Structure 1
Amino acid sequence: MNDFSADVAVVGLGPAGRAVAHRCAEAGLDVVALDPHPSRTWTPTYSAWADELPSWLPQTAVASTAQKPAVWTDRHRIIDRTYCVLDTPALQATLSLDRVRVLAGTAVDVTGSRVTTADGTIVDARHVVDARGTLDSRDLAQQTAYGIVVERHRAEPILEGSDAWFMDWRTDNGARSGEAPSFLYAVALDEDRILLEETCLVGRPPLELAILRSRLHHRLTHRNLEPTGHEDVERVRFSVEPPPRSLLHTGRGGPVLFGSRSNLMHPATGYSVAASLASADHLVERFRGGGRSGPNRPVHVWTVQKLRNLGLRTALALEPEMVPQFFSSFFSLPVELQRSYLSGHDDALGTMTAMLKMFPTLPASARLAIARTIARTPGRG
């Protein structure tokens, strides 16, 4: 058995955990990081709103940008906000762990001051960060997607002159009336390739990948792009909710939850990487301030999480034909309010204002569905 001690112990080395470990080490803190496969190469496509990214992240970590991405709800709309796709290998390389002691192992017990692994290794630390992500549980609301990577010259007509499709809710994907909806997500990965992805935003349970594959092929064929079957494929399935707090050590003496294991996962989009990168330095400042950290959340952060969870329950409760109408109302909001709801994880006033401004613009059937959601017993917090 080997024992270690450090200023900071980080459990989990996905983008969130690696960002915390990297920034803590850069600030001069002694860091031990633990992951079952710490050297694994990241393969997912990570995207973000450009204004969410921290200033310390180099431009080389960005693979492509869309100055004004588009959505199609009831009609074509432009989002006046720059969207970007991260260069996954460059991002992983930027978050260097050269100054971090990295251990390969599986944590079986994680508290606010100690990590114990399956082989009996113990890491004692003044601060412990649990960044192991959320659970792959069918009991949690999940997002699923199936995409193919296509050469730009073949895929560009699908964009119809837009920089990207953030969401295209048109119904040319073969889905029958009353079935759970899905949308087309289309972004440039670099100068030569475009990702075309059919996405189930959220479901409990979500649409299966085979259904999304069929819908994507139907949609693309309808738009005169016939998949060859030889394209690179991206498959996505993850929970958009953090694990139930009953399964986590969140009370007094618990670790700091971070990334998608915390409120940084947005349940309406599934995005957490940019928020995690931007929040890493907040933890560094907190840890350098001395004293022992705990899992407490400021009341404004707690409020935003409650409001977002209400939005998630609303999305799950909407009838399929209401979903595009819901996003039509959302993307009619001023971009500042869109930003508050999508990115302001500690902006309680902005989040609430966006929701209140949006409500009266919805069809009566959608307003009734939201009212019923509010009237029900609140779900997981």
Structure 2
Amino acid sequence: MVDVLVVGAGPAGSALAAACTDLGLRTMLVDRAPHRPWRATYGSWAHELPPLPADAIAARAPTVRAHALTEHQLDGEYVVLHNENLRRHLSRPDIETVTGRAESIMPTEVRLADGRTLRAGLVVDASGSPRGRYAEQTAVGVALPADVLPPGEAIFMDWRLAGDPPTFCYALPLDGERVLVEETSLAHLPGLPFALLRERLHQRLAVHGWPLDHPEHELVRFPLNPPLPRGPLVTFGARGGLVHPASGYSVATALTLAPIVARAIAETPTRTRGTIWSLEARMTHALRRRGLAALLRMPPARVPEFFEHFFRLTAENQRVYLTERENFTGTAAAMMALFRSAPPRLRSAIAFAATSR
């Protein structure tokens, strides 16, 4: 029997398994295909990430722009992770890796589809997003030549040509030769179909005069607002509710939390869930879920205007809302600042959306 068994060999599970091993815990990592490549593109604000080797970063964008009703330059550097090198950084020879599909995951036991039963002092489920009827973020992306964006630049959101339902363009460098351009639905219930996003993406590429004949690079679909985990099983990463309800980001949070959670497992296993979800984190998450609920109910024509006022907030307010998961007061202040700055018609839309059922 091992000390820790982590189910799921994605970035979150791999980071936690590595952190546990670094503390001397006997660690097992279980996945149906533990060595398959990580295909998703993981972007993050640089300040969110823990210290990483230089080669774990595939690209950097010191200049980050956003377009709503007007253009904005955002504060901070945006980075794209190098999946292969990040995975190598999180690999440990002492981790016992098991190939198998988990059919039953319990606090100290995992049963695999082939009949094997694996036991541990503590099981952590990091097997990815839960299934259910939740608001989803969806996107279709293509890789284009690097010269479609100025060097060192990323587009965080471009709400021009937003449409109904509204979608935006997200563009960032993948390396020195390619940029990823995605048409993204920030949140919709149910998630928008890929066919619609493809159509919107082609329209946007045509408007910008960008190449239309490149194969798809990425399809994205994941839930934004599943309930926080309950019960005795420890969960982590997207399975553990770490997806930001407003942005969809989770990997940087998981990488940062992994050593902290591993320390809790090593010292006081019964406090592990409270370490991941402190009261402050739960309160902050609840506020962000209210913000997501308001966005889901907002009239489509008001969405670009809403983000115009978000991007006019101070850099501190933007940073707190987008990246600080244990700052209830700061998150509430950012939300109130946006509401106060909005014109009456937008305030009415926000208030109605936030209070509707």
Give the alignment's TM-score, normalised by structure 1.
0.88
Match of 1:141 in 2: 135
Match of 1:268 in 2: 246
- Give the SS at the match of 1:295: helix
Match of 1:42 in 2: 38
Give the distance between the partners of 2:124 and 2:303, measured in 1 at CA.
37
1:240 pairs with 191, 199, 224, which one? 224
Give the distance between the partners of 2:94 and 2:314, measured in 1 at CA.
44
Q: Is the 8 A contact 1:127 1:293 kept in 2?
A: no
Give the distance between the partners of 1:23 and 1:191, measured in 2 at CA.
31
Unpaired segments ≥5 residues, structure 1: none
Q: Match for 1:231: what amino acid?
A: P
1:169 matched to 2:154? The reply is: no
Q: Is the 8 A contact 1:150 1:231 kept in 2?
A: no
Q: Is the 8 A contact 1:255 1:294 kept in 2?
A: no
Residues 238-265 of structure 1, C-alpha deviations (whole Å, 9 max, x = no match): 11233x46xx6x22xx222111122321
Match of 2:10 in 1: 14
Q: Is the 8 A contact 2:28 2:96 kept in 1?
A: yes
The alpha-carbon distance between structure 1 residues 162 and 216, as it changes in their structure 2 partners (threshold 3 A), is farther
1:128 matched to 2:123? The reply is: yes
What are the within-5 Å matches in structure 2 for residues 71-86 of structure 1?
71-86=66-81
Match of 1:343 in 2: 323
1:196 matched to 2:181? The reply is: yes
Q: Is the 8 A contact 1:263 1:345 kept in 2?
A: no
> Structure 1 residue 148: deviation in Å?
0.9
Residues 170-207 of structure 1, C-alpha deviations (whole Å, 9 max, x = no match): 12x7x4xxx11111111110111111111111100222
Match of 2:47 in 1: 51
Give the distance between the partners of 1:98 and 1:86, measured in 2 at CA.
22
1:88 matched to 2:47? The reply is: no
- Give the SS at the match of 2:104: strand
The alpha-carbon distance between structure 1 residues 162 and 50, as it changes in their structure 2 partners (threshold 3 A), is closer
Residues 117-173 of structure 1, C-alpha deviations (whole Å, 9 max, x = no match): 223322222222111121344x111111111111123x23xx5x88111101112x7
1:306 matched to 2:286? The reply is: yes
Query: How many residues in Structure 1 have an aligned counterpart in Structure 2?
Result: 355
Give the alignment's TM-score, normalised by structure 2.
0.94
Q: Is the 8 A contact 1:25 1:31 kept in 2?
A: yes
> Structure 1 residue 371: deviation in Å?
2.3
2:64 pairs with 69, 72, 80, which one? 69
Unpaired segments ≥5 residues, structure 2: none
> Structure 1 residue 291: deviation in Å?
4.4
1:32 pairs with 25, 28, 33, which one? 28
The alpha-carbon distance between structure 1 residues 262 and 365, as it changes in their structure 2 partners (threshold 3 A), is farther
> Structure 1 residue 370: deviation in Å?
2.9
Q: Match for 2:219: what amino acid?
A: R
What are the within-5 Å matches in structure 2 for residues 243-258 of structure 1?
244=227, 250-251=230-231, 254-258=232-236
> Structure 1 residue 290: deviation in Å?
3.6
Match of 2:195 in 1: 210
After superposing on structure 2, the runs of 4+ consecutive aligned residues of structure 1 that deviate more than 4 Å are none
- Give the SS at the match of 1:207: coil
Q: Match for 2:341: what amino acid?
A: T
> Structure 1 residue 283: deviation in Å?
0.6
Match of 1:184 in 2: 169
1:279 pairs with 246, 257, 260, which one? 257
1:319 matched to 2:293? The reply is: no
> Structure 1 residue 232: deviation in Å?
4.6
Structure 1, 360-369 or 21-30: larger mean CA deviation: 360-369
Match of 1:361 in 2: 341
